[in-house]
């Protein structure tokens, strides 16, 4: 049971829905890169993306369950993810460097979505959501750094 105002709970749950959608979109993009990357970067990208999509799968569940805890239904349809999120599908035929750049950009999109919500959650007295979002921001910033490092 949460202890902050019900209207704030609903606002936070609604604000988390695009975070969930873009996390799902990033998960799919990461899998696409993992399966289809070729060339000299193959091993490094393949290994890193496996770590990243495994982490994203757990995050998807955590975000969805937080939405439910706050009293809203968690979006579970691909059409909802396409409506709520802004990350493109990616191209399985792209060059490895372009795939990595797409992942850098996608992680930045999620980080940019999350960053302003941390303060809103804290201001609403929702420490759990603020903590969840802070943890997610840390993951996406680190993922972006690791991916950028591959590009030199």
Structural domains in the chain plus CATH codes: 6-151 (1.20.1260.10)
Position 3 scores a pLDDT of 61
Contacts 24+ apart (CB under 8 A), 107-112: 107/26, 107/140, 107/141, 107/143, 107/144, 107/147, 108/140, 108/144, 109/22, 109/26, 110/19, 110/22, 110/23, 110/26, 110/136, 110/140, 111/137, 111/140, 111/141, 111/144
Which pTM was predicted? Answer: 0.95
Percent of the chain's residues with pLDDT above 70: 97
Please write the tens of the pLDDT for every residue from 80-128. Answer: 999 999 999 999 999 999 999 999 999 999 999 999 999 999 999 999 9
């Amino acid at each position: 049971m949460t202890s902050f105002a019900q209207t704030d709970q609903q606002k936070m749950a609604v604000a988390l829905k695009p975070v969930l959608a873009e996390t799902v979109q990033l998960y799919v993009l990461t899998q696409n890169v993992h399966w289809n990357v070729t060339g000299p970067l193959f091993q490094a990208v393949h290994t890193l993306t496996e770590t990243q999509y495994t982490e994203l799968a757990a995050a998807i569940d955590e975000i969805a369950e937080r939405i439910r805890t706050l009293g809203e239904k968690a979006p579970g349809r691909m059409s909802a993810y396409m409506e709520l999120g802004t990350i493109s599908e990616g191209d399985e035929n792209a060059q490895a460097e372009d795939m990595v750049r797409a992942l850098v950009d996608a992680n930045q999109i999620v980080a940019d979505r999350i960053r302003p919500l941390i303060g809103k959650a804290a201001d609403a007295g929702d420490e759990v959501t603020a903590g969840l979002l802070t943890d997610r921001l840390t993951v996406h910033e680190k993922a972006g750094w690791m991916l950028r490092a591959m590009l030199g």
